[in-house]
A and B are shown apart, each in its own frame.
Chain A
Amino acid sequence: MISLAGLNLILPQLIIALAAVLVMLFIAVKRSHKFSFIFTLFAFAAAAISVLYIPRGSFGVSSLFVVDGFGKFFTVLIACAGFVITLMSYHYLNAREKRNEEYYILLLLSSLGALTMVISDHFVSFFLSLEVLSVSLYALIGYLKEEPAGIESGIKYLVLAAVSSSFLLFGISLIYMQTGHLDLSGIAAGLSPSGEFSGVFIAGLAMVIVGIGFKMALVPFHLWTPDIYAGASAPVSAFVATVSKGAVFAFLLRLFYSTGGLENKNVWTAFTIIAVASMLFGNWLALRQQNIKRLLAYSSIGHLGYLMVAFLAITDRGMQAATFYLVVYFIGMLAAFGTVIYMSNKKGEALYIDDYRGLFWKKPWLAAIFTTVMLSLAGIPLTAGFLGKLYLLTAGTEVGIWLLVIVLVVSSGIGLFYYLRVVAVMFAGKNENEASSEPVIGKIFPHGLVLTLLFLLLLWFGVYPSSLLEIIQQIASVIR
């Protein structure tokens, strides 16, 4: 039973849920894009700040949720990402779409799904969160009514996500059949500690992996990613790349670490294959992309593969590495899509690498930011991406999973090719055919400011990450 006293534990989730309802009510009274925008901003900020009022320690809220340091950390991360995406959406929507107010409802709702997912301790709450997240995403992806590509990818996502959800449901029911529990601790208790799982349980777990793998876009469940990224509007792509994947990854950590599912050799091997395939294929397929959003899509597949290396280490250090890397990945991806938004105009987005030709001579500051982002994604020192990768390598080396470590190194070598290609284009000669004289969407405020902030964060965490590391070390041992 949930008591009123426990409500402060889920304050961030409540704030976001309430904000979604309020925005909807305001729209019924009066349409104002600016108002919805500002209200949403405040909601995200309040959600992030309200985490401070949650007492320390690990608390169960009914049997569905558990609020601990890990959950709080991800709550803040998702709320901040939501804040940044909202900030970057306003001018973009103004330029490209007429009815914009509902966008914020959908954004809030899908963030709500993510926020509840990271504190889920139960398959029911996980599945509910996943559906809240996905259903609002269907609409968000197809939000731009004039864009056929957007609508197409919305439907594509709808169909595929529905299929993956049914896999997930079937898997959950098989696990329930075997253990008689849906809460994670109950499942853990129902299992033999030696990692000897029955066939039915393995089958259930495999189906859950399919569902989760789809959401995280791991190879071989990744086929939707490039199309959705390219078809959706850039802010929504940023959301899919960060919040949606991050939340599912957080639950993945919780699921497998608290139930000990990885103790089983077969499960571990399956994940290893998935990780290796994601790292190699993600980076390999990105090589020949001319469309920057597709490039980022493949690169994000690769990055999720890197994360799996830390996940498979099954140590505190692996957990910390994964969390740190995810933060870095969030910042990098947000800034990358932020740059795409900045460079877009009324007619369309700056989709092609050639749109960035000679950017350094036109907008040196933006180019410097984008360069840093690319270098961070590639894992070059002075940027946070390097320390993230260092952490991952440490986690992998500690337990001696050499195959994964070597594949990580090789695939980040492949990754260098396309990140550098983007950088090189920016420093190449000026674009001759300056056909599109449309002004870009980006404004100093808020885009320039947000990008600068993300850029500084990348450098800050790349040079002096101690503060972040300290927080991560505190929260990362809670879960096990």
Chain B
Amino acid sequence: MTLVYIILILMLGGLISWIIAGKNSLLAKGIALLAVLADLVIIIGFWISVYDKFDLGSQQWLIDYRVEWMPQLGISFHLAMDGLSLLMTALALFLGAVSLIVSWNEIGKNLGFYLFNVLWLIAGIIGVFLSLDLILFYFFWEVMLVPMYFILAIWGHENRRYAGMKFFLFTQLSGLLMLIAIIALYFIHGKNSSQYTFDYFALIGTSLSAKTGLWLMCGFMIAFLVKLGIVPFHSWLPDAYTQSPTGGSILLAALMSKTAAYGMLRFVVPLFPEASKTFAPVVITLGIVSILYGAKLAYAQTDLKRMIAFSSMSHMGFIMVGIFSFQALSYQGTIIEMIAHGISITALFTVAGVIHARIQTRDMDQMGRFWEQVPKMGAITMIFVLATLGLPGLGNFIAEFLILTGAFKSNVTLTVLAALGLIASMIYALVILQKIFHGERRKEWKLTDLTPREVLAMGCLIVAIVWIGIYPQPVIKTAQPTVNSLEQNSNNTTFVNDTGPTNKTALKNGDENMTMARKTSTFFLSLNKKGGGK
């Protein structure tokens, strides 16, 4: 029931703050924030209480809640939580709270409806992270869409209607393709076992012919690739990210894109193990193209938010590489990347929002030498720019390092290409700092430095990114059971596919991977010790 409460609190909080916002806007904001924080406390409390359970051989699922919903169609209301969804839920709530704080005074008109949309959006995102019935998953997947469309189309910047429409169409259409794949999977499973159900646990063992598997996986992948904004499905992304109000950009870039990455980890890889192996080179190539192309586009932008949007697209490429390398290390890296990128992109969009609120423009050609006037803002921006370019000691470094280390085992050439992205990201990230805070002063602006509220929000983000950069062990430990099962899953397929002598190698590989997983933890502990020693 805890999981149901978490979603319900958000939905109710959204409704209440909509109702009372007309009378008392401060109270409405307070209630919205309180709802998110209350959920965050519940989740963190839960995390602490189960933290000892995350060992190598432990049970993957912590909570499993299932009631019949539409039994006639085999649809159930099935929520469950494992380490991965726990991390993602906590991230969603944390960044949701931050986005509320940073856009505290941004929304003038119709505050109530805005708060309602934000809270329902977060509820939808969390629903995606928790649902284990495929229709329920799709349900929440689409529930995210409508509030985001409203946030974008009502409170966005100058070109909001266009961006909103584009966003909605891309995600909805690709979602429908996923829906068809879900339904087809349902019937294939139903015909094999005469048990018609959309339940994840039942569907996970469905045996598919290679061709069908590939088609169905493509249905899922298109939805996820679009949401992740991977080339060539990215054209909605810069518009939507740029035109959103700050809070919306944060929710889009930091959380909604993660639902796609989560979907690949949770659904694509376990449901279609063979097909995803066949398809991996294509996906990794797309990922690498996104990394490099995104970086190039980011470098070419003058619009600050657009630049951040492309940088986000570039980082999403790493997630693709991480997932489709099928290595324990790269899975871990992917999960850390999801968290670290979420935090750093939130911070960057906040900076963009803060600057926009002060000078009403996002054009970097009109900025310059801000550091003298707003040193606090400059320093904080620097931290996150460094995080984005992958400086050791901050979260993104760990993530990208792990992804590349894992990927190296499966494909050297592609990994080398992906690693080039690190250099590219250094270039565009430093350009942000250079153009805005250094260089020559192009225009006289009256700037005020960060307010205590903004410092508080950014402070939380700094603590989080440094924590993950220096001591990622809690995250790694929490994600370990999920990563193990992903790992076993892909080994099992090799086992089924091959015959005779190769079996042994497969098993051996499996062992190796298991030990690799174990090594991950020890590796980081030793890394920390070294860091501490200095």
Contact = CB atoms under 8 A, between A and B. Distances in A.
Given A393-B179, A413-B172, A381 B164 contact: no
Main secondary structure of the interface of B (DSSP, over half): helix
Interface string A393-432: 1100110000001100110110011001000100110000
A361 B110 CA distance: 9
B209 interface: no
Nearest to A473: B72
Interface stretch (B145-153, B299-307, B410-418, B483-491): B145-153
Given A394-B183, A397-B187, A473-B72, A416 B142 contact: no
A397 B142 contact: no
A158 interface: no
Contact of A412 (B154, B164, B165, B176): B176
A207 interface: no
A381 B143 contact: yes
A182 interface: no
A401 B150 CA distance: 35
A413 B153 contact: no
A427 B150 contact: yes
A189 interface: no
Interface in B107-143: 110, 135, 138-140, 142-143
B143 A413 contact: no
Contact of B164 (A393, A394, A398, A424): A424
Nearest to B164: A424
A466 B69 CA distance: 7
A46 interface: no
B392 interface: no
Contacts of A382: 139, 143, 146
Interface string A411-455: 011001100100010011000000000000000000000000000
Nearest to B70: A466
B186 interface: yes
Interface in B145-195: 145-146, 149-150, 153-154, 161, 164-165, 168-169, 172-173, 176-177, 179-180, 183-184, 186-187
A394 B186 contact: yes
B179 A390 contact: yes
A469 interface: yes
A416 B179 contact: no
Interface in B63-111: 69-73, 110
A394 B74 CA distance: 12
A416 B168 contact: yes
B169 A409 contact: no
B168 A420 contact: yes
Given A394-B186, A409-B173, A424-B165, A381 B72 contact: no
Interface in A449-476: 464-466, 469-470, 473
A29 to B, nearest CB: 51
Interface string A354-393: 0000000100000000000001000011100011001101
Interface of B: 69-73, 110, 135, 138-140, 142-143, 145-146, 149-150, 153-154, 161, 164-165, 168-169, 172-173, 176-177, 179-180, 183-184, 186-187
8 A-B pairs closest in CB distance: A381-B142, A413-B173, A397-B183, A469-B72, A409-B176, A381-B139, A427-B154, A394-B183
Interface of A: 361, 375, 380-382, 386-387, 390-391, 393-394, 397-398, 405-406, 409-410, 412-413, 416-417, 420, 424, 427-428, 464-466, 469-470, 473
7 contacts: A381-B142, A382-B146, A393-B179, A397-B180, A409-B176, A466-B71, A470-B72
